[in-house]
């Protein structure tokens, strides 16, 4: 694994952990009334997706348990359709998908040498 891959994986991990912290003690309805929360979650997911686009193909293949196309696709939707974000999908992504990504990255990062 290249040093640049480890750095990008760390960016993904940090942004995912931040997003998880933003929703502690929140519920889905919070997104309807808290624009700052929505924007913070969107930015975190954008960072995760942008970092994912910079991971080498070799690393992506080695870490095939991570859903790279989904992560990058979500980033693209947020960047290009920022005016029409489905809050249900945003909530589902943060509450259902990010915990698994965090778990996978926690397994990978301790063994990755910079």
Catalytic residue among 10, 35, 77, 80: 80
Catalytic residue among 10, 11, 35, 75: 75
Active site residue 80: yes
Q: Distance of CA 33 to CAs 4, 9, 39, 41, 89, Å? A: 38, 32, 12, 14, 16
75, 45 in Cβ contact below 8 A?
yes
State the Cα–Cα distance between residues 6 and 23, nearest whole angstrom: 26
State the Cα–Cα distance between residues 87 and 29, nearest whole angstrom: 9
- The residues that are catalytic are 75, 80
């Amino acid at each position: 694994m290249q040093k640049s891959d480890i750095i990008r994986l760390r960016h993904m991990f940090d942004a995912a952990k931040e997003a998880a912290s933003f929703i502690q003690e929140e519920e889905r309805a919070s997104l309807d009334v808290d624009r700052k929360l929505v924007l913070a979650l969107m930015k975190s997911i954008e960072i995760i997706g942008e970092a994912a686009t910079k991971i080498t193909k070799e690393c992506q293949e080695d870490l095939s348990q991570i859903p790279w196309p989904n992560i990058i696709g979500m980033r693209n939707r947020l960047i290009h359709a920022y005016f029409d974000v489905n809050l249900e999908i945003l909530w589902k992504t943060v509450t259902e998908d990010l915990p698994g990504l965090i778990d996978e990255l926690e397994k990978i990062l301790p063994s990755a040498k910079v």
